[in-house]
Structure 1
């Protein structure tokens, strides 16, 4: 059976705004696009947080639900992420889930993996998925080119995230232009 590739998710924190963007493509194997408008970035916790996923959709939905429950339980993004990563790594049923999550609130963006990783990016940009490296490089390049400009002078976090995915979609066959952007 062919592998299913899907998505690029990028998170950007810039001048007090946090944005997360994801494309809509789900690809089966190397040449079949199954769906072009999947929504892989969502508002959670009553709109107080964002969650984006890459990997197996069913696995990602399971992890997103568990993360939202942890966020409700602990009311702190970092603590909820650490608790989910711990559970994901230790629980036999969860250990085999094949996905990665980006989660964000108004203060930070975190990557959560099944290996127990909870990573806050050094440069306020992080990306996952098939085109993650491209989106990461594009967003870092945009931020670097902007220097210290404010959102009024250049792009805001949402604009940077969208532009990074547009660039990625031009070069990554597993990423498309059906972009969803959410901000906090």
Structure 2
């Protein structure tokens, strides 16, 4: 099918907020095909426990591609227990150089409570400024909202929830059905 005959999957807003020793990753539940909502309760934020070390991951993009990347990340974390940055860099290198992985269309936000990282298929492992990371169709809306809320007397979860609500109010590919995972530093 061509791009014009198949509108493609859209959707997802994922945000990670780090504040006062806690990191929260929140994601909406909407999956859309063109202008149609296919599912409103998808779970795009997961807790992984490779080698007994908790990592929270949220994904935007193709679900099958994201699950492939999460499995690869989990394997990298099992090979390097407790070393999220090293595992993320190894995943990004594989993603960039492996011909199969290069075709995957997804992005990840990952945290172990200490680091908050964005991993992309371009080979990027980014530690965002201002302790906020956001990806997906409503990511910029959520990012802007969270940046505005960081100086208020709110904890990380409240900021993430409020930012996601603002994104859901603006972005038609984002809903207010949230999955939220928190992890302590």
Q: Name the TM-score, length of structure 2 as normaliser.
A: 0.92
> Using a 3 Å threshold, how does the CA distance of structure 1 residues 47 and 175 change in structure 2: closer, same or farther?
farther
* Number of the residue aligned with 2:176: 177
| Match of residue 127, structure 1, among 134, 151, 156 | 134
Deviations 1:5-37 (A, max 9, x none): 0200000000000000000000101x2000000
Structure 1 segment 16-35 matched on structure 2, within 5 A: 16-29=21-34, 31-35=35-39
Instruction: Pick from 13, 33, 48 the counterpart of residue 8 of structure 1.
Output: 13
Aligned residues: 175
* Aligned Cα root-mean-square deviation (Å): 0.9
Corresponding residue for 2:165? 166
Deviations 1:161-181 (A, max 9, x none): 111101110111000010111
* Alignment equivalent of 2:143, drawn from 136, 141, 148: 136
User: Cα offset for 1:108?
Assistant: 1.2
> In the aligned structure 1, how far is the partner of 2:40 from the partner of 2:126?
29
SS across alignment from 1:92: coil
Which residue of 2 is the match for residue 89 of structure 1? 96
Give unmatched runs, 5+ long, in structure 2.
Answer: 1-5
Q: Which residue does the alignment assign to 2:72? A: 66
- Deviations 1:109-163, CA, capped at 9 Å, x for gaps: 100011100000111001000000001001101003x1xxxxxxx3211111111
Match in the other structure for 2:3: none
- 2:111 aligned with 1:104, yes or no? yes
Distance in 2 of aligned mates of 1:43 and 1:57: 16
For structure 1, which runs of at least 5 residues remain unmatched after alignment?
Answer: 147-153
Q: 2:87 aligns with which of 74, 80, 88?
A: 80
| Separation (CA, whole Å) in 1 of partners of 2:162 and 2:59 | 19
Structure 1 runs of 4+ aligned residues shifted over 3 Å read none
